[in-house]
Structure formats: structure tokens, C-alpha cells
Amino acid sequence: MDDTFDLPNEFFADWSNTDSLGLPPSPNSTNYDIPNTNTISEDGKHIPIPNKSPPCFIFLYGPLSLPHVLNRTLSLTHPPELQRAVINGYTQKMFGPFPAIIPSPSKFDIDVVYGMAYWGTEDDLPALSAYMRENYKLKKVMIRTGVEADYILDQEIEGWTFVWSGLIEDLSEGSFDPSLFPED
């Protein structure tokens, strides 16, 4: 016994006007020539579409303050632009070879942590959080930066940094050694 049967030609719709996937056009849609890359056309030239995530200032210290580590972590297509920066009211300890910052025990903002500021986007924060792992939490801070040649840090901008959230007794005194994080 044959389990197939022939359908009459009228059963099939006219598919002669289909798109590249073989699908018929929707009556409510228009076909647009959209490039298959993340670009937009301007006078016949393709330019990158700007990132749609809100920009944010990020204070980095330790390995993430090294351009090659930041570049690899964020999969950047260009070297990151970093500038010297400080945050007040925090002190730096060490968690093995990794620095960790904690709120200063002083009631005054005399303690300072030195690092680098990166103008990124909120899309960067998950990748940075994954690098920093569970012992660090994102926190809003005031980042001071400014004229590098004179080391005058006269601009203050709200941004993000990673503050230690693990056990304080896991931290020790010491300083960050960039040579432990060489470029490949």
C-alpha cells in the first residue's frame, strides 16, 4: 500500500514572488536592502552603528587597568583609551595577585586609590563583572580625573568601580605587580 498521494496544483500558493529564504512577502511589510553587517548607509558608504548602550565612566585598577587585559576582556577592536584617575574614600588591599579596594576606615576622604578611567558603556559591565568574579561588586563612585601632564585631577565624574565584597580576612597588605599579567 502506498502512503502518499498527489495534491492538486491549486493546493499550493504562488511562490514565485518569494524572498531569498523562499518565504512569501508579508502584505504588511516592505523589503529593505539591509546590509548583513552592523553598519548603516550614509551617501553610499557604510559606517559602524554607534553602540546603543548608555555610556558610563568606569574606574579600573589592577589587571583591568592594563590596556591588553581590558582589550581582551571586552573583545575590543581597538586599543582602549585610558586616563589616570583616583577615587577617594577607599583603600587598597590584595587578594593573592589581585588588588581589592575596600571603604576607608577613616571618616575623611584622605585615603586614595590610583587607577585608570575608561569611558565605556553599560554593555561593558557584564564582561567586566565576569572577569572580576563573585568577590567584587559594582559600586557607584566619584572618579577624579583631569590634566595628566600636570597630574591635576580636577574633574569629578560619577562612574562605576569594583569594590571587594568577600571576607576582609582574605585580604592582605601589598601592591599590584603588573608584570604578573604579561601581554601574550
Model-wide pTM > 0.75: no
Q: What's the confidence (pLDDT) of residue 15?
A: 47
Q: Are 111 and 88 in contact (CB under 8 A)?
A: yes
Q: What angle do CA 62, 64, 65 make, to 5 degrees?
A: 70
**Is CATH 3.40.50.2000 correct for 55-180?**
no
Q: Over the stretch 82-116, which tens digit does the pLDDT of each residue have? A: 999 999 999 999 999 999 999 998 777 678 999 99
Q: Are 65 and 115 in contact (CB under 8 A)?
A: yes
In whole angstroms, give the CA distance from residue 159 to residue 120. Answer: 10
Residues 6 or more apart from 23 whose CB is under 8 A from it?
none
Percent with pLDDT over 70 in the chain: 67
In whole angstroms, give the CA distance from residue 63 to residue 128. Answer: 11
Distance between the two ends of the chain, CA-based, in angstroms?
68
pLDDT at residue 48 tops 90: no
How far is Cα of residue 165 from the mean position of the Cα atoms in its chain? 21
Q: Are 56 and 138 in contact (CB under 8 A)?
A: no
Q: Are 44 and 35 in contact (CB under 8 A)?
A: no
Q: What's the confidence (pLDDT) of residue 107?
A: 73
